[in-house]
Amino acid sequence: MATKSGRIARVKLGAATVAGQGTWTLGGFTREVIEEDSWDLDIKKKYFSVGDAGTITFSGLYDALDATGQNLLNSVCLNSSAIGGGISTAVIATLKFYVDNTSYWTVDTGGTILITKCQSITMEKSAMGTVDFEGVVSGGRVIFE
């Protein structure tokens, strides 16, 4: 099994690295289940239904001057715009979650990422400021390239 270190993890929006973003989490794929429940059944029957490609969260150091990364993500969120996957035709740009210099996770063709949380900034008196973003995957699975 090939393991990967998160030492150089990063997030890229289009060709630009989103400044300071070194921690990211993919929430995972979930398959919903529907139930059949009627008076003539002794035990409920369950069936697979539609899938949910999940959520994405990423965070790191805050950089107010990062116009092509953090500020663009804020604009995408505030204007309800969608971000395309790494191998699809981009709606705004592509969003890629890098494991190392060449390997990354992104949304499959036809899918988008909807940024649902932005401008979540934490400042501490004796520490660097941090920023968090969250999004949901719509219409496609997250794949590894």
Q: Show Cβ contacts of residue 70 under 8 Å, excluding neighbours closer than 6 positions.
A: 18, 19, 20, 21, 62, 63, 64, 131
Two structure tokens written together for 105: 């996770």
**Entry field: residues in the chain:** 145
pLDDT in tens, 55-113: 999 999 999 999 989 999 999 999 998 887 655 444 567 889 998 888 888 888 788 89
Q: Which residue has the tokens 């690295």?
A: 17
Q: Which of 54, 90, 55 is nearest to 72 (CA)?
A: 90
pLDDT in tens, 7-57: 788 999 888 899 999 899 999 999 999 998 888 888 989 999 999 999 999
Q: Tell me, what's the pLDDT at 85?
A: 63
Q: Which of 103, 95, 109 is nearest to 141 (CA)?
A: 109
> Phi and psi at residue 46, in whole multiples of 5°?
-130, 145
Q: Show Cβ contacts of residue 116 under 8 Å, excluding neighbours closer than 6 positions.
A: 77, 134, 135, 136
Q: Domain map of the chain by residue range?
A: 55-144
Q: Tell me, what's the pLDDT at 130?
A: 95
Q: Tell me, what's the pLDDT at 89?
A: 47
pTM: 0.83
Q: Tell me, what's the pLDDT at 143?
A: 77
Q: Are strands 142-144 and 104-107 parallel, antiparallel or unpaired?
A: antiparallel
Q: Tell me, what's the pLDDT at 88?
A: 43
How far apart CA 137 and CA 83 sit, in angstroms, is 10
